[in-house]
Amino acid sequence: MLLAAPAPDEAPPHTGGLLALIGGTGGLLTVAALGILLLLFLIIKVRLQPFVALLGVSIAVGLASGLSVTELFGTVQKSDAVSLIEEGMGGILGHVAIIIGLGTMLGAILEVSGGAEALSRRLLSLFGEKRAPLAMGLTGLVFGIPVFFDVGIFVLAPIVYAAAKRSGKSIILYAMPLLAGLSMTHAFLPPHPGPVAAAGLLEVDLGWVIMMGVVTGIPAVVAAWAYSTWIGNRLFVEVPQDMVEAAEESKAAVEAEKKAAGVTAEKPVSLSVVLAIIGTPLLLILMATFSSIALDPSTLRSVLEFFGHPFVALTLALLLAYWQLGLKHGWSRQSLETVSTASLKPIGNILLVVGAGGVFGAVLEGSGVAQALADTFSDAGLPVIVLAYLLSLVLRVAQGSATVAIVTTAGIVAPLLAAGDFSQPHAALVIMAISAGSIFASHVNDGGFWIVSQYFGISERDTLKSWTVLESVLSVAGFAVAALVSLVV
């Protein structure tokens, strides 16, 4: 149900730094507010890299709240306890890095093998020309599970161009449903970085995150599809020829990369195989979660929990993709290694930002700032799920990065969940609220805004009318469903 976290019993443990000037709880809250403002200033005005900004703000908050240098950084003696910075960085990345890495490699194999093309081609044939926008939406929804948002656009944009040219209708009518599907999976479902990072920071089982992601995400994406149809029939944008030519060049580049990697497969992949590979880790993780609820400790439960652990489930799905989409289609082992390794290069920044979010959360907890926040919001009676959404939304609109919004909000919200007796399903819904807030009102400070505008040849004004509003609809609908479901779990 919608409840605020209760106040903690103990007083904040640190009284130095800025607290000596302002005093106890008031000083801690001031430190938290100034820390968030400093973070926004560094990212928006100074244009400092988010990882560096988060790390710097974490150190500043720790020192201002009275933590010692030793508590923050440890000492040179290896026998000493792990520092807060090491604990925060290692604690989150030990869980998140493996999942994001495996998921990224899985998405790369599906992308290069032609899985997206097989999926879209089959859906278009099933739904026909009149329902092509719905087929585009479903393609984005399914293919978006294992691949990053921008990769999905890169791979699927040519299909949107072709559908719009055949029909003579606005490209927005076909692009927006696709984007809604890609954005929903990227925001709400593992193995994408946002929900995985939040699950790690809030210590929530990924099975519950998947279940609540589906529960909240499906109604949200349906609402977004409805808006896509409405705006697509009222805002006409032609398919620009330079975008078509660019798509052809991109396709040629992909083919060149395949050739360089030794990928020589010509036989199209099977849609059933693609769906099986995408569904395997989700099914295994969900079975493990249900077994922990429905079964008493037994050999069967242990087996299900082993295969349903995210590390094992994603490894099995990746190996299945290697076999079914790679080796059976003529790929060499060298090709698989080349494609997998190349896919990991872009995720370094994501992992560092997520790790810095873990540092921020650890510093908030260790300094007593988190307890002060929990106390204050408890007294105000503000439900945690509402607070989580609003914090994430404000951070997203202010600085543009969904990842920064998620990890910063999770660091603030984590002690609120710890202080209250929240169930795993309820905590998963809080993650959905954070994720929903992180995609609200994508505008000119968000890289996704410019990717959409440039890839589909939409003017900035029309992108605001279509894409920005679409993301807001997806955000508000997702949060509304999460808040309603939280009343009964």
Residue-wise pLDDT tens digits, 2-46: 444 444 444 444 545 555 444 567 778 888 888 889 988 998 889
Whether 211 and 191 share a structural domain: yes
Task: Give me the helix-helix angle, 348-367 and 402-419, nearest 10°.
Answer: 30
Q: How far, in Å, CA of 180 to CA of 470, rounded?
A: 7
Whether 383 and 318 share a structural domain: no
Whether 326 and 372 share a structural domain: no
Domain end, chosen from 318, 346, 374, is at: 346
The mean-pLDDT minimum among 299-303, 308-312, 385-389, 398-402 falls in: 398-402
- How confident is the model at residue 30, as a pLDDT? 85
Domain end, chosen from 320, 346, 372, is at: 346
Q: How many helices (H) and strands (E) does the chain have?
A: 24, 0
- How confident is the model at residue 261, as a pLDDT? 58
| Residue 2 within any structural domain of the chain | no
Whether 188 and 313 share a structural domain: yes
| Residues sharing a CB contact under 8 Å with residue 232, sequence separation 6 or more, in sequence order | 133, 169, 170, 172, 173, 174, 176, 466
Q: Give 391: exposed, middle or buried? Use CB within 10 Å, 0-12, 13-18, 19+.
A: buried
| Residue 16 within any structural domain of the chain | no
Whether 111 and 192 share a structural domain: yes
Whether 254 and 385 share a structural domain: no
Backbone dihedral angles phi then psi of residue 288, each to the nearest 5 degrees:
-65, -40
Say how far residue 145 (Cα) sits from the centre of its chain.
11
Range 239-265 average pLDDT: 62
What 3-state DSSP class applies to 47?
Answer: coil
Say how far residue 184 (Cα) sits from the centre of its chain.
9
Q: How far, in Å, CA of 271 to CA of 277, rounded?
A: 10
Whether 332 and 363 share a structural domain: no
Range 339-347 average pLDDT: 87
Greater model confidence, 332 or 375: 332
- How confident is the model at residue 7, as a pLDDT? 42
| Residue 361 within any structural domain of the chain | yes
Inform me whether the pLDDT recorded for 309 exceeds 70: yes
| Residue 7 within any structural domain of the chain | no
Q: Which pairs count as long-range contacts for 79-86, CB under 8 Å and 24+ apart, including other chains?
A: 84/359, 84/362, 84/363, 84/366, 85/55, 85/58, 85/59, 85/359, 85/362, 85/363
Tokens of 136: 């585009």
Whether 316 and 357 share a structural domain: no
| Residue 330 within any structural domain of the chain | yes
Percent of the chain with pLDDT over 90: 46
Percent of the chain with pLDDT over 70: 87
Confidence of residue 253 (pLDDT cuts 50, 70, 90): low
| Residue 53 within any structural domain of the chain | yes
Q: Give 246: exposed, middle or buried? Use CB within 10 Å, 0-12, 13-18, 19+.
A: middle
Please state the domain count of the chain. 2
- How confident is the model at residue 137, as a pLDDT? 94
The mean-pLDDT minimum among 3-7, 196-200, 434-438 falls in: 3-7
Q: Which amino acid is at 265?
A: A
Q: Report the b/e string of 221-234 with b at 16+ CB within 10 A.
A: bebbbebbeebbee
Confidence of residue 250 (pLDDT cuts 50, 70, 90): low
Report CA dihedral (209, 214, 215, 218) to the nearest 10 degrees.
150
Whether 104 and 55 share a structural domain: no
The mean-pLDDT minimum among 14-23, 163-172, 351-360 falls in: 14-23
Q: How far, in Å, CA of 412 to CA of 198, rounded?
A: 11
- How confident is the model at residue 462, as a pLDDT? 95
Which domain range does residue 454 map to?
27-90+353-486
For the stretch 66-113, pLDDT in tens is: 888 888 887 655 545 568 888 889 888 887 899 999 999 998 888 888
Domain end, chosen from 346, 363, 380, is at: 346
Whether 158 and 135 share a structural domain: yes
Q: What is the secondary structure of 448-478 as a DSSP string?
A: HHHHHHHHTT--HHHHIIIIIHHHHHHHHHH
**What is the length of the chain?**
489
Alpha-carbon torsion 261, 266, 271, 273, what sign? negative
Whether 130 and 68 share a structural domain: no
| Residue 59 within any structural domain of the chain | yes
Alpha-carbon torsion 165, 168, 173, 177, what sign? negative
| Residue 78 within any structural domain of the chain | yes
- How confident is the model at residue 318, as a pLDDT? 95
